[in-house]
Each structure stands twice: as structure tokens, then as C-alpha cells.
């Protein structure tokens, strides 16, 4: 029996932010992409900056979903993720205030201790090879503080390189 070494190309990933409003999202920020043009661009529009990330939905109706190799375009989200290349970012997707006749921008709201506990649980299951728990099955730990597994520091993160999938996020 032979194994085919080839795989099909990845399909473009689009995120419907309206479906994810209020959801807890975990971003594995991969890179900043400058000069991006999309099919939505009009003639004369300047190229845009996007952030490339793997996005994991930790709760809500789409809990357990993920968007691999997604390009993030909303400007406030880009600004929130830009300094975090090579890091994990946790936040609740929310709409900011609309200004000057513009629509309200998508942004990440700060997280609670319960949100962080859910992310730690998701990450621990992910490291163990299991899937992310469905949002409805999550039960916060009963007064047991989180203790990260004993691991030496990750040199790749210290050198500013991208984290490897399966490494512990800094929250």
C-alpha cells in the first residue's frame, strides 16, 4: 500500500464576525501581512494590512470551531493583534462605538478569570490530543488555582519566533 504524499490546497477561510459576537476567541497570531488586496476592494483603494492567525472559538454557538490560516482585516482587531505576533491572544469579540457615521468596529474585549480558566482547560485538552470541549460541558474548577505543567522556557518564544502548536499560551 502506498501513501499519497500530496494534499489538496487549503481553502480560503472567511470569518463571519456577526456569528461570533460575544464569543470567547483565542488567536494564535502568526504574522502581519501588508499590501493585501481583496475582492471587496474598489479601484483606487489602497492595499490593506491584515493579521494572519489561527482562531479558536472557545464558547458560544460556534464553540469548538476553528479558523486555520485566517486573515483578520477589521482595523481595530488588526491594531490589537499587531504587537502580538508569535503570541496567543484571548478576548471576547465585541463591537466598539460607532464614530463619524462609520459602523461600530469589531474589537476584543478584556477577559474574566472564568474566561481564562476556560482557555486553560481548552489548551490542556488540546495538548493532550483531544478536541476542545464544547462550551456547554465546561465547569469551572472548584477553588483550585491553575498550576501550569512544569516545563522549561520555550527558546523559540524568547527569540521572537512563532510558537509551535501545542505550546502553552501566556495567560
Distance CA 92, CA 109 (A): 5
pLDDT tens per residue, range 77-107: 999 999 999 999 999 999 988 888 888 999 9
Distance CA 28, CA 24 (A): 13
20 torsion bin: left (phi>0), alpha (psi -120 to 50), beta (else):
alpha
Buried b / exposed e over 76-101, threshold 16 CB at 10 Å, is ebbebbeeebebbbbbbbbbeeeeee
* Residue-averaged pLDDT of the chain: 79
Give pLDDT, residue 166: 57
pLDDT tens per residue, range 115-158: 999 999 998 998 876 554 444 343 434 444 544 455 555 454 44
pTM: 0.69
Amino acid at each position: 500500500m502506498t501513501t499519497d504524499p500530496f494534499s489538496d490546497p487549503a481553502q480560503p477561510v472567511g470569518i463571519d464576525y456577526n456569528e461570533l459576537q460575544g464569543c470567547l476567541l483565542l488567536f494564535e497570531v502568526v504574522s502581519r501581512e501588508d499590501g493585501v488586496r481583496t475582492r471587496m476592494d474598489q479601484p483606487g483603494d489602497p492595499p490593506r494590512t491584515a493579521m494572519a492567525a489561527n482562531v479558536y472559538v472557545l464558547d458560544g454557538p460556534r464553540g469548538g470551531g476553528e479558523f486555520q490560516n485566517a486573515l483578520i482585516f477589521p482595523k481595530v482587531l488588526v491594531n490589537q493583534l499587531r504587537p502580538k505576533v508569535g503570541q496567543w491572544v484571548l478576548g471576547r469579540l465585541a463591537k466598539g462605538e460607532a464614530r463619524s457615521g462609520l459602523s461600530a468596529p469589531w474589537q476584543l474585549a478584556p477577559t474574566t478569570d472564568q474566561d481564562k480558566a476556560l482557555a486553560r482547560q481548552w489548551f490542556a485538552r488540546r495538548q493532550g490530543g483531544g478536541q476542545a470541549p464544547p462550551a456547554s460541558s465546561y465547569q469551572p474548577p472548584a477553588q483550585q488555582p491553575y498550576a501550569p505543567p512544569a516545563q522549561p522556557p520555550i527558546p523559540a518564544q524568547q527569540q521572537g519566533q512563532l510558537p509551535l502548536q501545542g505550546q502553552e499560551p501566556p495567560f
